[in-house]
Chains A and B, each alone.
Chain A
Amino acid sequence: MDGLQIDNISMRFDLPNGKHVQALENVSLSLEKGEILSVLGPSGCGKSTLLNILAGFLAQTSGQVLMNGKAISGPGPERGMVFQKGALFEWMNVRRNVDFGPRMKGMPEVERNTIVENLLDTVGLRDFKEKAVYELSGGMQQRVALARCLANDPDVILMDEPLGALDALTREKMQGLILKLWKETGKTVILITHSVEEALLLGERLLVMAPRPGRIHKEYRLPFAERAVGADLREVKKSPGFAETRDEILSMIWEMEEEIMGGAEA
């Protein structure tokens, strides 16, 4: 079966003081190939833990994750990851960063070069092939990170707040780019974000998670991502239902935050 199957996973770890933290409780979710899912939630709701389990960096304490029908047990090239701050290798230039995955697989240089050329064209960095990555701006570095991830041709792309460190204008451009790449490549995308608008724009499906214990609070299926592909994002934000859904989710998250804060203040 194609896609990603998350089957009733829980994550619980012990603290040195004898207590324990229930980071995730009975989370189930199934994603078909080519779906784009955004995940929202207040801090401590376990969304990063979930992503780390999917990437294979953490092992869940119960339940299982099936990727194309196979249980995952560690990181793998079929699940690419884009981090908040690029996590680029600054000792390699743009080209060497982008073709890192194929190079590790031992792909011949000619094929690698074709991949790099195509991807740099797609992300708009054609003239920066031989530049050092530390000479690029934050937005350009994220473009390199996207290209590096795509060069490995993964089935699923996991994004951990990939646009969180960018300014508003760059962010909007990058949202358009992510939508374009999603549509063109047909990859499954899971995107964690703190911005409700971004989650609405980039999520065919949207998950709101709640903390203590980390769990799925509510799931939406939204039309905006499909509409936003190649369109003016600001127009999409004006489309019917967008503002209402945004306010609904915002007050939902506010309530959860109040609960946490209230507990702290009392």
Chain B
Amino acid sequence: MTSLVFLLVYVVLVAAAAYIVGAIRRMMTPTADFTSLKTVTFGDEAAVRPDRAASVISVLVIFLIWGAFTGSKWVPIHVPGPFMGETAFSYVAQSPSGETAEGRVTVLVTEAGAEAEPPEVAPTSGFVQNDSAVTAAWRSVLISAQRNDGEDARIISVEGRPIQPGETVSVPDGTVTMTNRGSLNFQPGKGLQMEPIWMPPPEAVVTRFVDIAQNGFQNTPLWSHLGWSIWRVFAGFLLGSLVGIPLGYAMGLSGWVRGWFDPIVEFMRPVPPLALIPLVIIWFGIWETGKIVLLFLAALWVMTIAARAGVSGVNLAKVHAAYSLGANKRQILRHVILPNSLPEVFTGARVAMGVCWGTVVAAELVAAQKGAGMMIIAASKFQQTDIVLMGIVLIGLIGFGIDILMRIAENILVPWKGRG
């Protein structure tokens, strides 16, 4: 139910931002480019261009939500946090003789990790003694309230509501559950914010990033971890391309080679590289050779299929034209088939890079001494969620950066893509 409400709030945020940005734009001078003069835009795919203002606001909203749910100091608004401070609830105990009396339990809820003494409590007149306890936010505390209330005293109600073992009663700033042995367990209100060990606030991740960038992680600099991952990807990708591209060309140019390798390629292509990890470990061990072989296999089939498609995609009229102009087979391969296949090869390279980057992180999760994947799996074993988050963000940024570099290279090297 709560999550539905938050989904709704998110949708409202998206719509409200659109409305506000739209209103601001209407106040400014209107542009009169071709698209803005179109009257039919709904259903016209060409008129739908990503609104960069929406992208910026979207990223800001992610940080806003992240901060709001983690109590970040960077964000002005927060969802209700866990209860902290002193609170109390009353209970009624019954002695074996049928006598009843009321006592109070005072609980001090501290910030996570802080140490504190239980608060002092005033003595009472009846046989029931007041109690006190101390706990940290999000943690519950067991209060053996009846233990100092005389022989076999039994708690019968909390805050005026009857309670049985196993039952839970709401009290101010939390809930009280009776255990099977008749003790009380106080759980201070958790609010909607997340505990730092589940989801640290953004500033904790940034602080950790600065710390690890300066001091390294497990005696290895951060750049070395990332550098190893990137190096493995490039080595595997290069080897895969060196074998895959010629193989793809051979498959595109010879029926026999095509027939020979078709079953192998078509079988290996849908096998996820991650499924090969166990076999690769058995054959090549868990260190560098194994990882490079795995990435080689991840890139190989993608590049083979891309090169094959590039050759098959050549317009026959172009090959005919080249023959009619007197070119021989070698010249046709060099001047027609190769350049014609380059756009496809580049598309394949982008896919292969993405697959390799995903595979290297997964392979490092399994076993590695250095690497981005190793960093996050090692951190997760120590509940260092901030390092895990930092690692995920860095892995995402590097993957994104690789793709952007490939696109830039594509625009420079094959400007004729899609213009044949």
Contacts and interface: CB of A to CB of B under 8 A. Distances in A.
A13 interface: no
B419 A75 contact: no
Contact of B317 (A76, A83, A149, A152): A83
A134 B320 contact: no
Contact of A76 (B326, B336, B416): B326
Contact of A101 (B325, B328, B414, B415): B325
Given A87-B318, A89-B340, A91-B416, 12 more contacts: A55-B320, A55-B324, A75-B324, A77-B324, A85-B317, A89-B336, A90-B419, A91-B342, A91-B414, A104-B325, A105-B326, A134-B416
Given A89-B339, A91-B340, A83 B320 contact: yes
A144 to B, nearest CB: 11
A242 interface: no
Contacts of B327: 100-101, 104
A132 B321 contact: no
A83 B326 contact: no
A148 interface: yes
A89 B331 CA distance: 13
Per CB-CB distance, the 6 closest pairs between chain A and chain B, nearest first, are: A77-B326, A87-B317, A134-B419, A75-B323, A101-B325, A91-B339
B322 interface: yes
Interface string B303-330: 0000000000001011011111111100
Interface of A: 55-57, 74-77, 79-81, 83, 85, 87-91, 100-101, 104-105, 132, 134, 148-149, 152, 154
Chain A CB within 10 Å — which of B331, B414, B415, B416 has the most? B416
A81 B320 contact: yes
Nearest to B324: A81
Nearest to A145: B321
Contacts of B322: 89, 100, 104
A80 B321 CA distance: 8
A152 B336 contact: no
B326 A101 contact: yes
A154 B323 CA distance: 13
A235 B94 CA distance: 122
A158 to B, nearest CB: 8
Interface of B: 315, 317-318, 320-328, 331, 335-336, 339-340, 342, 414-416, 419-420
A76 B327 CA distance: 9
Nearest to A87: B317
Contact of A75 (B315, B320, B420): B320
A209 to B, nearest CB: 22
Contacts of B340: 89, 91
Contacts of B335: 89, 100, 104
Given A85-B317, A104-B331, A90 B416 contact: yes
Contacts of A88: 318
B416 A87 contact: no
Contacts of A89: 318, 322, 335-336, 339-340
B335 to A, nearest CB: 7
A83 B320 CA distance: 9
A83 B322 CA distance: 12
Given A89-B339, A91-B340, A104-B331, A148 B325 contact: yes
Contacts of B336: 89
B325 A132 contact: no
Contacts of B342: 91
Contacts of A105: 326
A136 B327 CA distance: 25
Contacts of B315: 87
Contact of A87 (B320, B328, B419): B320
A34 B115 CA distance: 105
A89 B322 CA distance: 9
Given A87-B321, A104-B331, A132 B326 contact: no
A266 B327 CA distance: 49
Central interface residue in A57, A75, A101, A149, by most chain B CB within 10 Å:
A75
Contact of B416 (A55, A75, A132, A154): A132
Contacts of B320: 55, 57, 75, 81, 83, 87
Nearest to B315: A87
Nearest to A100: B325
B332 to A, nearest CB: 9
28 contacts: A56-B323, A57-B320, A74-B323, A75-B320, A75-B324, A76-B324, A81-B320, A81-B321, A83-B320, A85-B317, A87-B318, A87-B320, A89-B322, A89-B335, A89-B336, A89-B339, A90-B420, A91-B340, A91-B414, A100-B327, A101-B326, A101-B327, A104-B327, A104-B328, A104-B335, A134-B416, A134-B420, A148-B325
Contacts of A55: 320, 324
Contacts of A76: 324, 326
